[in-house]
Amino acid sequence: MKKDSGFTAGVIARPDPVHSSIDMLRHIFVVAVIGFFFISGYLYKVQPDVFGYARKQAIRLLAPFVFFSLVYTFILTILGKLSIQQGLIQTITLHGAGMQLYFLPYLFIITVGFAFFSKMFPITYRAAYESIIIGAVALISIAFPTSGSTGSDLKLLSLYLLGFLLGKLFKVLSQSETHSRKQLGVVSACLLIGIIDSRFFDVAGIVALFIVVNYFSGKLPSKRLPGSGGIYLLHTPIINFTLSVALVQIGVTQVANVFISVFLTYIFCLAATLVLINKLPKLKWLLLE
């Protein structure tokens, strides 16, 4: 009996490669959300007409959010995973019926809020000035701890704002001759703060990844490739699970199934986005294109 118990305990204790792979991918996707806010800050431009900008952002971000949240509510209701009432509540509270949709209203709040703040306090965007603001936001983020660095928890808004402001700071630093040293200084600061708030390790990882990608992107042709918005809105567990089941039917299981199903999910979403852009160009704004 003891032998069986020991064997069972050994099996339970043994790491499952499938779950390990899923956890690894989940963490990568989790960290990526901060990266979206960082890139939004890097690409942000000063808005002379903040009210016009607010209207434009509402159409660009809130309209797709409401549309896809209601679509996912309908689909999940049919599947018995959600009720109509729950879906409507999640939409009204800006969480969204789809797990990734909260990014859109939160980005609206941050970008429009920053535009109004900049209008009220028209100070030249010097690196020193932005560093003070970033330091204050970092302290606020630490004061509102969360279990992770992503999700629809409203307490994460300060961390998302931090990512946005860091992106904007990097845009300012890119014009400096010593930008590489200053950017590495930001990564080092995030790593140090990570000792007391582990979420900042994720921030440091995103910033470091941006430095690497930005370096190599400078050696490539300057051309925007479509599809990123559609991939973000369309990739869901439903599509991933369907593809995973299909792979099982042809003998692809375990770790290979995890990685291939995720890869095929993104290929499928990219293809669907490109088809919509080409066939129904007037509706491409729904996919943030």
Question: What is the tens place of the pLDDT at every residue in 150-200?
Answer: 888 899 999 999 999 999 888 887 777 667 788 888 889 899 999 999 889
- CA 235/CA 99 separation, integer angstroms: 10
> Max alpha carbon distance in the chain (Å)?
76
Residue 280 per-residue DSSP state: -
**How much is the mean pLDDT over the chain?**
79
Split at pLDDT 50, 70, 90, the class of 233 is: low
Q: What is the pLDDT of residues 30-88, one digit of tens each?
A: 667 888 899 899 889 888 899 999 999 999 999 999 998 998 899 889 888 889 999 99
CB-CB contact of 259 with 21 (8 Å): yes
The 3-state DSSP composition of the chain as helix, strand, coil percent (nearest 5) reads 75, 0, 25
Q: What are 22's two structure tokens?
A: 């899923």
Split at pLDDT 50, 70, 90, the class of 260 is: confident
- CA 34/CA 239 separation, integer angstroms: 24
Burial of 186: CB neighbours in 10 Å, binned 0-12, 13-18, 19+: buried
For 111-175, the DSSP string reads HHHHHHHHHHS-----HHHHHHHHHHHHHHHHHS--SSS-SS-GGGHHHHHHHHHHHHHHHHHTT
CB-CB contact of 187 with 173 (8 Å): no
Q: What is the pLDDT of residues 117-148, one digit of tens each?
A: 888 876 655 556 667 778 888 888 889 888 88
What per-residue confidence (pLDDT) applies to 278? 83
**Is the whole-model pTM more than 0.85?**
no
Q: What are 20's two structure tokens?
A: 């390990």
Q: What are 133's two structure tokens?
A: 């603001």
- CA 77/CA 189 separation, integer angstroms: 45
